[in-house]
Amino acid sequence: MSTLWIPLNHPRRTSLLIREKIVEGFKRGLVALEGLIAHGRGECFDYLIGESTQPFALRAIEAAVAALLLAKYPVISVNGNTAALVPKEIVELAREVSAKIEVNLFYRTREREEAIAMWLREHGAEEVLGVGEDASAIIPELFSERRRVSPRGILIADVVLVPLEDGDRTEALRKMGKTVIAIDLNPLSRTARTATITIVDNIVRAMPLMVKKAREMKKLSKTELQEVLRNYNNNQILQEALKHILNRLSELSQSKLTLL
Ligand code: PTJ
């Protein structure tokens, strides 16, 4: 789809271009209708954060990459919105940290599973798990369609990256003893609060940074990576994200209300 209609100097151009990627993903059969609403919720939190990667997100990204590099069996879980927004980066990150890629959908349909897998292959993925009969294992105590996972993927993973998640699964995966990395613009969401590491940032900014960090941090020793994880405190990161939003709103509420 052409984005020529968005003027080059439009003040909200970046945001509009991202939105078009989601719409395009919907038209291609990757994104669920509900995914459009989820994107709007994300846009709102991005506005509050200031639409830029903040120090608390950078620290979470470093910890996340350390966890992925230290993992024995890392898996990147992909849903419709993630596939539409960052297909190239999913493949690149998986390559850098030797992770498996698995499709896992809340609004699961066979058509969408296959469309997402094909889209990822078009972007260089060699293997995509979780499609059709491959999603034959069940995550205990989870009742949504997200419970169906690949016995060669999420079921046996020790570290799982779950971008744009919808709640219950993070808790269920943690109960299974897995390290869960979330990317979620909403620091108040259940996913953000139950993940081991929460990256409060837009996935379109966070994923390229993760790829870059993975390339740099691959050179670190195991002890150095473990040190990064030891110094990481997710609760503190979430508090910093909330304080950042609070301070921003407080400053804005005291200044003359002009355009941001
Ligand atoms: O493709 P499916 O069927 O697996 O469905 C995917 C969605 C995203 C529709 C499903 O997981 C869902 O309904 O999610 P929720 O409960 O709306 O949660 C999505 C979370 O992602 C919310 O907290 C949003 O703020 C956040 N979010 C939305 N867009 C972005 C984002 N976080 C980071 N980057 C974004 N671009």
Ligand 1 contacts CB of residue 87 (under 6 A):
no
Is 129 contained in some domain? Answer: yes
Is 46 contained in some domain? Answer: no
Segment 32-47 mean pLDDT? 96
Number of domain units in the chain: 1
Residue ranges making up the domain that contains 93: 55-241
Split at pLDDT 50, 70, 90, the class of 14 is confident
Is 158 contained in some domain? Answer: yes
Q: How many CB atoms lie within 10 A of CB 174?
A: 15
Which of the pair, 194 or 16, is modelled with greater confidence?
194
Which atom belonging to ligand 1 lies closest to the Cα atom of 185? Answer: 32
Q: Record the pTM.
A: 0.95
Is 227 contained in some domain? Answer: yes
Question: How far is the centre of ligand 1, averaged over its atoms, from the C-alpha of 167 (Å)?
Answer: 10
Question: How far is the centre of ligand 1, averaged over its atoms, from the C-alpha of 219 (Å)?
Answer: 33
Is 17 contained in some domain? Answer: no
* pLDDT tens per residue across span 137-179: 999 888 888 899 999 999 999 999 999 987 789 999 999 999 9
* pLDDT tens per residue across span 66-122: 999 999 999 999 999 999 999 999 999 999 999 999 999 999 999 999 999 999 999
Residue 259 pLDDT exceeds 60: no
82, 88, 94, 100 alpha-carbon torsion, rounded to 10°: 60
Residue 52 pLDDT exceeds 90: yes
pLDDT of res. 95 = 98
Segment 4-26 mean pLDDT? 84
Ligand 1 contacts CB of residue 199 (under 6 A):
no
List the CATH number of the domain containing 194: 3.40.50.12640
Is 248 contained in some domain? Answer: no
Is 149 contained in some domain? Answer: yes
Is 207 contained in some domain? Answer: yes
| β pairing state of 100-103 and 197-199 | unpaired
**Burial of 159 (C-beta count, 10 Å sphere; 0-12/13-18/19+):** buried
